Structure 1
Amino acid sequence: MLKHLHTLPGHQNPVYALANTADGKGFYSAGNDKGVVEWSLETMSFVKVLVPVQSSVYALHRHENLLFVAQRSGLILVYDLLKQETISTLSHHKKAVFDLMVLPQKQELLSSGEDGELAVWSIRDYTLLYNFPVIRDTVRCIAVNQAGTEIALGCKDSMIRIYNSADYGLLKTLSGHGMPVTSLKYAPDGRFLLSGGRDAQLKVWDLPDYELQANVAAHMFSVYTIAYHPFAPFFATSSQDKSIKLWGADDFRLYKILSIEKGTEGHRHSVNKLIWSADGKYLISTGDDRQVMIWAFNS
């Protein structure tokens, strides 16, 4: 179902962030290097350093022809992929920014990180619209439901907080994880919210009421990424335990483990990020071993 295809070397330090290109023919990666790198999926090779950065990049998020680059310094770069230049620098967070998400219907960018705040930016003129404290510590991850009406925030205090996107009012607080929440993803069909934590657990929350439906002992250590396939009924997870796992989206059955310890190709350190290519043919992974790996998918 997943087979190692290529390993792309080049990064000199751990890699934390991935994003697809607008045309679906490549992707971007960034981490504790000095720039955001563009790669081709057609030639399976390095293309160029897209934009230099002054500090580590913890998140990349592309919306149409804009690439948002979140840094450890707290700055967020707005890079125009058509003009091939940085067109704005968003400055508000005083500590590292860990996640970014766009609300297309509101033309707003959400950012969160180590300062415990959620910041809301206009992507029309890049002004700060709102900001408010969520907790006194890190807000690690953001997820938005398919309708764009609800926002889930994964927090260091082990709680998940659900907000209404209309006015950013708090709707619900979910407790279940025993340690910080490190990954969140709404199912494409709108049935579930999945959460992963430093407790190595994967939890399934039934929508719309966010009732805890299932708890899966998914990994040995922190679950860093949950990534749904674009159209096939699967999702992948990655972990600090150096493994990647493929799961059924309906039955939560484990279909594949990619790990050196299990005798397959794999990463030698923590797997920090996963994305699927837009056409669903490839899973892309990266982590602390500085490698970018391409996996061919066949259902």
Structure 2
Amino acid sequence: MITHLHTLGGHQNPIYALANAAKENTFYSAGNDKGVVEWSLQTMSFVKVLVPVQSSVYALHRYNDLLFIAQRSGLILVFDLKLEKNLATLSHHQKAVFDIRTIAGKNELLSTGEDGTLAVWSLADFSLLYHFPVIQNTVRVIAVNNTETEIALGCKDGLIRVYSSEDYSLIKELRGHTLPITSLQYSPDGQYLISGGRDAQLKIWALPDYELINQVAAHMFSVYAIAFHPAAPYFATCSQDKSIKLWDSKNFKLYKILSLEKNTQGHFHSINKLIWSSNGRYLISTGDDRQVMIWTLNL
């Protein structure tokens, strides 16, 4: 069903971030190295160092022809992929930025991280529109629902805080995890929000009321990423426990474990990030072992 296709080497340090490019079969990776790297899925090879960075990169987010690069320093670089140059440096966060998302309908960029604040930026001129404290310490992850009306923030205190994207007022606090939230995604069909934490649990919250309807003891350690397939009814998770798991997105049945311990190909250290390629043919994973692994899904 899902098999290892290729391993891409070249990074010298742990990798934390992945993003698909606008052009098909191209993606980007970044981490503790001093640059964002472009890769080709067509040739399964390194293309180039896209842009140098001054500090570790914890998140990448592409919106149209812009690549937003969130750094440990608290700065966010705005890189124009067509012009291949930096357009702006966004400076607000006093500590590391852990996640960035866009709300296309409002032409806004959201950022958050170790300082516990959410910042809202204009995509028109990259000015800071608004910011507010969420908690006293880290907000790890942002998820935006399908209609862009609500955003969910995964926080270090184990709570998920849901806000209205219209005025950024707090709607709900979801209590279910016993340890910090480390991953968060709305399902593509708009039926639920799924969260993962340092407690190694997945929690499924039914929409629109965010009722906790299911919980799964998914991994041995922190769940670092959740990625829904763009078309098929599957999602993948990865963990500090060095495994990738493929799940049914309707009934949450476990289909496949990709792990050296299960005698498959796999990472030999914490897996920090995974994404599906934009066409859904490939699953891309990476982590502390400095490897980028490409997996192919045979439906």
TM-score normalised by L of structure 2:
1.00
Secondary structure of 2:171's counterpart equals strand
| Structure 1 residue 297 displacement after superposition | 0.6
User: Which residue number in structure 2 is paired with residue 195 of structure 1?
Assistant: 195
| Structure 1 residue 100 displacement after superposition | 0.4
> What is the alpha-carbon root mean square deviation over aligned residues?
0.4
| Structure 1 residue 298 displacement after superposition | 1.0
Secondary structure of 1:171's counterpart equals strand
Instruction: Supply the distance in 2 between the matched residues of 1:233 and 1:173 (Cα, whole angstroms).
Output: 28
Q: Deviations over 1:251-288 (max 9, x none)?
A: 10000000000100000000000000011100000000
| Structure 1 residue 24 displacement after superposition | 2.1
User: Which residue number in structure 2 is paired with residue 284 of structure 1?
Assistant: 284
| Structure 1 residue 25 displacement after superposition | 1.8
Secondary structure of 1:261's counterpart equals helix
Tell me the amino acid that sits aligned with residue 113 of structure 1.
G
Instruction: Supply the distance in 2 between the matched residues of 1:24 and 1:93 (Cα, whole angstroms).
Output: 33
**Pairing 1:97-112 to 2, within 5 Å after superposition:** 97-112=97-112
Q: Deviations over 1:184-217 (max 9, x none)?
A: 0000000000000000000000000000000100
User: Which residue number in structure 2 is paired with residue 69 of structure 1?
Assistant: 69
Instruction: Supply the distance in 1 between the matched residues of 2:2 and 2:192 (Cα, whole angstroms).
Output: 24
Contiguous gaps of at least 5 residues in structure 2? none
**Pairing 1:84-233 to 2, within 5 Å after superposition:** 84-233=84-233
User: Which residue number in structure 1 is paired with residue 49 of structure 2?
Assistant: 49
Instruction: Supply the distance in 2 between the matched residues of 1:66 and 1:38 (Cα, whole angstroms).
Output: 14
| Structure 1 residue 167 displacement after superposition | 0.2
Instruction: Supply the distance in 2 between the matched residues of 1:24 and 1:152 (Cα, whole angstroms).
Output: 29
Instruction: Supply the distance in 2 between the matched residues of 1:108 and 1:35 (Cα, whole angstroms).
Output: 26
Tell me the amino acid that sits aligned with residue 163 of structure 1.
Y
Instruction: Supply the distance in 1 between the matched residues of 2:92 and 2:117 (Cα, whole angstroms).
Output: 10
Instruction: Supply the distance in 2 between the matched residues of 1:22 and 1:251 (Cα, whole angstroms).
Output: 32
TM-score normalised by L of structure 1:
1.00
Instruction: Supply the distance in 1 between the matched residues of 2:242 and 2:122 (Cα, whole angstroms).
Output: 37
| Structure 1 residue 237 displacement after superposition | 0.1
Tell me the amino acid that sits aligned with residue 23 of structure 1.
K
> After TM superposition, what 4+ stretches of structure 1 lie above 3 angstroms from structure 2?
none
Secondary structure of 1:137's counterpart equals coil
| Structure 1 residue 291 displacement after superposition | 0.1
Secondary structure of 2:48's counterpart equals strand
User: Which residue number in structure 2 is paired with residue 297 of structure 1?
Assistant: 297
Instruction: Supply the distance in 1 between the matched residues of 2:80 and 2:24 (Cα, whole angstroms).
Output: 16
